[in-house]
Amino acid sequence: MFRGVGTLRLVHPATRFPSIEFRSIMAAMMQDAAPDIETNERPALAAGTFIAFVKQDCPTCVLAMPALREIDELAARSGGKLEVHVQDDVTFAKGFSHASDDSALAASYRYSIDTVPTLIRLRDGQEEARVVGWRRSEWQAITGIPALGDGLPEHRPGCGSKTMDPGMPVRLKVKYGNTGLASRRITVPALSDPVETCYERGWSDGLPVVPPTEERVLEMLDGTTRAPQEIIGRIPPNYAECTVEKVAINAVMAGCRPEYMPVVLTAVEAALMPAFGLHGVLATTNACTPVVMVNGPIARAIGMNAKGNVFGQGNRANAAIGRTLQLVVRNVGGGRPGEIDRSVFGSPAKYSFCFAEDEDDPRWESYAVSLGYSPDASTVTIFPGDGISQIIDHVSRRPEDLCRSYAGCIRAIYGTGHIIGVQAFLAIAREHAIVFYDAGWSKARVREELLELLKIPVREVAPGRAGLTGLTAEEKSDPDNLVPKFKNGTFNIIRAGGYAGKYSAIIPSIGGRGSIEPVTREIR
């Protein structure tokens, strides 16, 4: 049953309140009207034990105190009991038969108090009914006292319980409840620095991490409805089971907010899809790393950056989401540099590489829409990337000229004759995009133009596994035959970046269709 300010919650449909005989009410009225008339009729308190939760810093609690004192007096006469639990200053309940200091909020947590005053009636130790806030008729009904609070206003809303103070719900759950967390606890001595403890235990990527306290992990788990012990998958290279809880712990360390969790969880799931080949990306001697691109309404809702400095620092969501995936691979899967991670150079992108595609201009469809997803869908795309290579062209005013400028830079990926296992995403910023918009070119047409310009004569193809060994006998039969730069790889175009300056950027990487390729997963 819903419990809110000024409402009465009936816990059991069989609850009954003692009847109040008409003569008792009349006797009470006569006693008020004519004190010299003797009567033995007194209001009867409903059977049971009453518990009240109040705080001094609440005008409604102050207003209700006379009614509580009347209940306390009747309880003392009838052998009943009223317990008054005070959340701030226990002297507020001075004079009551049973006053309790609940500044530690243990009782308030046990009874799930979210508003004060709250009056609860117990029978045989079980809750029968409760009133939240002050509503005179409901206080009279729960206590069985017909004239309770006469002279007080009919209704006043309650105040927020101290259990609802910022950060308090999770602190109380850790202190008094069952957190449900299964991960091993690490006790840090009082004088130790928890950040240094994370370094000492090898949990860091080299930068400081946020210590994953139980409170922070519980707050992070509030960002998803998925069960903490749900297994997301097995993380290479050790293929250890990764639960939602484990992802949340690493999300805390990476600096995430709870609302990032749906994106983070989907990113981990996408990285584990066989087509992406996470183990290969991790173990390669290349500098590539998982790159996270987010499309759809959720990117805007959580404040991701798709525009100026899109691949750089400064945006919390971009940085923390990408970093979480890297920490999960490190801390859950065991993928550490110098061990299974055999990259020769590595890349700053291995700290975090995450961004949103710029979807504000409807003239070009987004990457996700081009794959068949609805514009209203939110998706995560994972692809391997080394970093970025910037293209600067302040001169070209025709799309054909700009494409030729792009082609020269794109062909240089891994060497001008390297055509096997090459992939790339071309990110086009706004001023370059306008050149194509004004000419009426779609993204598909730009891609077709570039793929045509990126055909390479066989005589210029690099020998060995970078090129010639991947060609058919027919292709190699004539040195003038043209072969595509992305012989077995993928080439994609996205919109991203700032609105000032005629720039675009290439995100190159290894891989090819069927092995280490981009994968997209919808956030649900």
Strand 289-295, strand 134-135: pairing? unpaired
Which residues pair with residue 240 across a beta bridge? 235
Report which DSSP code applies to 44. P
The pLDDT, as a whole number, for residue 14 is 30
432 in Cβ contact with 502 (< 8 Å) = yes
Of the chain, the percentage scoring pLDDT greater than 90 comes to 84
pLDDT tens digits along 19-77: 333 333 333 333 443 333 344 455 678 888 999 999 999 999 999 999 999 999 999 88
Task: Let me know: does 12 contact 128? Beta carbons within 8 Å.
Answer: yes
Q: Would you state the pLDDT for residue 429?
A: 97
Evaluate if residue 411 carries a pLDDT over 50.
Answer: yes
pLDDT of 41? 55
Confidence label for 12 from pLDDT (cuts 50, 70 and 90): very low
Position of tokens 């008094």?
A: 176
Q: What residue ranges define each of the domains in the chain, with the CATH number in brackets? A: 8-164 (3.40.30.10), 194-522 (no CATH)
Half-sphere exposure of 159 (CA within 13 A, CB side): 15
Q: Mapping DSSP to helix (H, G, I), strand (E, B) and coil, where does residue 495 land?
A: strand
Residue type, 369: V
pLDDT of 348 strictly over 90: yes
pLDDT tier, 278 (very low <50, low <70, confident <90, very high otherwise): very high
pLDDT of 505 strictly over 70: yes
What pLDDT score does 42 carry? Answer: 56
pLDDT tens, position by position, 433-487: 999 999 999 999 999 999 999 999 999 999 998 888 889 999 999 999 999 999 9
Percentage of the chain modeled with pLDDT above 70: 92
